[in-house]
Amino acid sequence: MKIKIITSVIFLYIITVQLLELFIESELQSILIFKFTLFEIGVIASIFLTIILIIFNPVKDNFHNRLFITAVIGLFLYQLIIVAPVLFAQGVSFKEIAYAVFRKSYFLVIPFFYYFLFPNFKKNSTPILIINLSGTVLLLLYIYNYFNGIIDHTSTGEVRIASGASTILFAFMLITNFSLFSQHKNNFFFLIISLLGLIFANHKSAYLGVFIITLFSLINLNRIKNKFRIALQVSILLILIIVPLTQIPFIADNFWGRVTSSFTTDDPNADSRFEQYEMAWEFFIQHPLNGSMINTKFYFDESMNNIPPHSFIFQLLATQGITGFVIHTFLISLIIYISYKNRRDSYSFQMFLLILFYLVFTLLNENFYSSRNIMIFNFAAALILYRNKCIENAKGYILSFTSINSISGKNRVGKLKTIS
């Protein structure tokens, strides 16, 4: 019982800190406890608890899940055993070395979510609801800022009420509350909150990500029955929601122009970003194996290193080289494989779409390892692993796309514990 409470408290702490990071990142990161930020303390607490619990209660696992967790640990050990000594020999400061190693430990929160968080709840929908509520609070905070004159602008001059990084959280809400993305019923409250958040962010990469996951879901409708009826219902629902929203003056003035430019190269930042990509690529070519091994060194020109490449791929190649690229590609490919393999399970398919959105967004931005976003990725990966374990434990039962939350034993003699 005590472990359950501690686990829940750490989860709530992590989600709260992530919400505050999205709202007041610079102010929050200036708060240090023993030289650690509030976010880093949450990461350390979850890792420490996971290690203690696994030592005293070893966890049995299936092959793919064990392979993924092993790769996550391998990535951390690579930083600790290989990268850290090399950087030390080069005379890099201890602070830079610690940052390089610790940032890659963010993935170690995945075992905490997977092994201990989800088993604590009777329903997987409970932690999802908590994240949805945090997104609702975040939107209210952004609106409060707007009415108090705290306004940001996009590179092309449109008003931006919500931050670009927040779109990953709002995409999470959209995916987990919209029937097109495998949710059994539409939750109109959270659906409207998510749409408003995405609209207020005015972020082209986010709109491109939503377009891709929507297209993928429509193509993949053959996974469920009555696909024409569902497609028709979804189309009508979108019209009924979007048309009234577009009558709001802010949306009419800012949103549509931003959406249409999402599918063009009409961006004043495009040239500078392509220049960053080219500089990062040149640095990678000269350091192909491990890159700079420093999270803040991307180019030969030291004066430019305070501006990271606006793409996770080029950041990774410049700082981790082909070694880091291969490890990350393996991890991401494996979690995508597991989730798509179980796509008839609604939660697995939702988290598959979320990771797809995350990859599209970070391909065009610098947010992959950001403390504002990484926990959403970790949550999705952990839920995919947990559902995979539940499904494999239920082998022999016929799993329905719409009924895996309460798998019945009608297709086999005996009772099966509810998977939720």
Condensed to tens digits (0 to 9), the pLDDT of residues 363-406 reads 888 778 888 889 999 999 999 999 999 998 875 443 333 334 43
Residue 372 maps to a domain: yes
171 Cβ partners below 8 Å, 6+ apart?
194, 198, 206, 209, 210, 213, 354, 357, 361
Task: Spell 109-145 as b/e; 16+ CB within 10 A means b.
Answer: bbbbbbbbbbeebeebeebbebbbebbbebbebbeeb
Burial of 174: CB neighbours in 10 Å, binned 0-12, 13-18, 19+: buried
Residue 294 maps to a domain: yes
Residue 164 maps to a domain: yes
Q: How confident is the model at residue 341 (pLDDT cuts 50, 70, 90)?
A: very high
Q: Could you give the percent of the chain with pLDDT greater than 70? A: 80
120 with 7: CB under 8 angstroms? Answer: yes
Residue 239 maps to a domain: yes
Residue 393 maps to a domain: no
Question: How many other CB atoms are found less than 10 A from the CB of residue 55?
Answer: 8
Condensed to tens digits (0 to 9), the pLDDT of residues 233-248 reads 666 766 776 667 666 6
290 with 321: CB under 8 angstroms? Answer: yes
Domain range spanning residue 321?
A: 63-384
Residue 410 maps to a domain: no
Radius of gyration of the chain (CA): 22
Residue 32 maps to a domain: no
Residue-wise DSSP of 177-226: H-GGGT-SS--HHHHHHHHHHHHHHT-HHHHHHHHHHHHHHHHGGGGSSS
166 with 361: CB under 8 angstroms? Answer: no
Q: How far apart are CA 350 and CA 182, in angstroms?
A: 6
Residue 359 maps to a domain: yes
Condensed to tens digits (0 to 9), the pLDDT of residues 147-180 reads 888 777 766 666 788 888 899 999 999 999 988 7
> How many domains are there within the chain?
1
